[in-house]
């Protein structure tokens, strides 16, 4: 850890100047209660840095949570071993793709019946405070149990003991994005009305005790819960396909964790709002998941409860290149080489270049920098990767 000043502490060594400047701006906000903790995977974000932990008092920053509220990871360890898997996993990739729709808006009306039933049951009892339009109601229903695109994925992986794991990354989908965008705009409007001077308008915050704050927190908790159920639903149907494909199998352990969220917590003797934007909670003994990228490993970790990080850790490898830069710089051929002998959507490689491993930081270096934040329980190597395009 490097102490920049009493308002900023960093675990990252691979940081560009713009990211550091952004983190400094966030740390100077009057609502920040203590220091901003910058994780090893930190990189430029909207308003606040992705890979940062921001404690605030009496206020929250909607753009700091981000537009994919509750985005996170889930993983299941099974009783299967590598020898239980056939050499050809292409049929399994097709089966997972059928029950876990991916991409933006395609195939969501044809989800597995088990997913539809789970969505109906959960949404009967869970609603945001915002009154949704008919279009939003339909999106909320049809996207529960779907993966999305970008860096969201499903993987079948093997750990150091050759045990088979199912791992996935997703969040609160379109409804989380729409609710977040609405509250980010509202925070900017409040800042303008109250004449709150901000170095960056995207750092606009909502004050505790106001209706705008209460409205946001209610919607936030809905979206965070939606994200958890979304991941659980996809795990359930994908596991069934895996076990049917192999002809046997049972679940042994399950982990599900957010990395874009805020919660009320106590640190250094004070109750504060802790926003983790691209960071996971890493309390003592708490299990978490830190993925790399396509073609690299994922780590199952146990928290060490480091107080200086607000008991937090990195959430992944973190981008080194923007998507635009990756598409201009990297090639399909080098992506195919990086993916090695994994089963993946190689026929869509031209649409996945922006997810090239070289567009991300070295996950092994990120883990080395996280040595005082978490300890590794399992290192997972993917044998199958499925992403939305």
Task: Choose among 162, 183, 190: nearest CA to 67.
Answer: 183
Checking DSSP bridges between strand 279-281 and strand 374-387, what pairing results, if any?
unpaired
The kind and range of the H/E element at 291 are: strand 287-291
Distance in angstroms (rounded) separating the CA atoms of residues 384 and 20: 36
Q: How many CA atoms lie less than 13 Å away from 336 in the CB half-sphere?
A: 8
Residue 316 CA: distances (Å) to CA of 129, 312, 370: 31, 12, 11
Q: Is 106 strand, coil or helix?
A: coil
Q: Which of 152, 183, 259, 315 is catalytic?
A: 315
The contacts of residue 113 (CB under 8 Å, 6+ apart) are none
315: annotated active-site residue: yes
> Euclidean distance between the first and final Cα of the chain, in Å?
37
Helices (H), 247-379: 323-329, 332-339, 363-369
Nearest-10 crossing angle of helices 211-246, 173-193: 160
Reported residue count of the chain is 389
Give the residue numbers marked as catalytic. Answer: 315
């Amino acid at each position: 850890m490097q102490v920049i000043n009493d308002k900023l502490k960093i675990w990252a060594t691979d940081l560009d100047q713009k990211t550091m400047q952004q983190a400094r701006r966030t740390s100077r906000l009057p609502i920040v209660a203590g220091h901003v903790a910058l994780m090893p995977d930190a990189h430029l974000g909207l308003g606040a840095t992705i890979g940062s932990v921001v404690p605030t008092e009496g206020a929250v920053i909607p753009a700091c949570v981000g537009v994919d509220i509750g985005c996170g990871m889930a993983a299941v360890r099974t009783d299967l071993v590598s020898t239980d898997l056939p050499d050809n996993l292409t049929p399994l990739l097709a089966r997972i793709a059928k029950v876990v729709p991916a991409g933006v808006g395609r195939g969501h009306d044809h989800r597995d019946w088990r997913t539809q039933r789970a969505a109906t049951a959960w949404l009967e009892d869970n609603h945001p405070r915002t009154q949704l339009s008919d279009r939003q109601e339909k999106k909320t229903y049809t996207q529960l149990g779907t993966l999305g695109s970008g860096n969201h994925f499903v993987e079948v992986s093997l750990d150091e003991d050759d045990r088979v794991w199912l791992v996935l990354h997703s969040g609160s989908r379109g409804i989380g994005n729409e609710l977040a965008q609405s509250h980010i705009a509202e925070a900017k409007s409040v800042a303008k009305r109250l004449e709150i001077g901000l170095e960056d308008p995207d750092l606009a915050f909502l004050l505790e005790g106001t209706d705008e704050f209460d409205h946001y927190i209610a919607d936030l908790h809905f979206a965070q819960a939606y994200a958890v159920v979304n991941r659980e639903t996809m795990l359930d149907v994908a596991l069934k396909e895996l076990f049917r494909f192999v002809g046997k199998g049972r679940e042994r352990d399950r982990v599900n964790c957010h990395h874009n969220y805020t919660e009320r917590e106590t640190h250094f003797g004070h109750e504060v709002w802790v926003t983790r934007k691209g960071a996971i909670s890493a309390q003592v003994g708490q299990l978490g998941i830190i993925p790399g990228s396509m073609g690299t490993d994922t780590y199952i970790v146990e928290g060490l409860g480091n107080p200086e990080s607000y008991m937090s850790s990195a959430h992944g490898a973190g981008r080194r290149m923007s998507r635009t830069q990756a598409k201009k710089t990297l090639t399909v051929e080098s992506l195919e080489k990086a993916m090695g002998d994994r089963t993946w959507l190689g026929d869509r490689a031209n649409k996945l270049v922006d997810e090239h491993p070289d567009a991300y930081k070295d996950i092994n270096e990120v883990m080395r920098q996280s040595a005082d934040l978490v300890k590794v329980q399992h290192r997972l190597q993917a044998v199958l990767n499925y992403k939305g395009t």
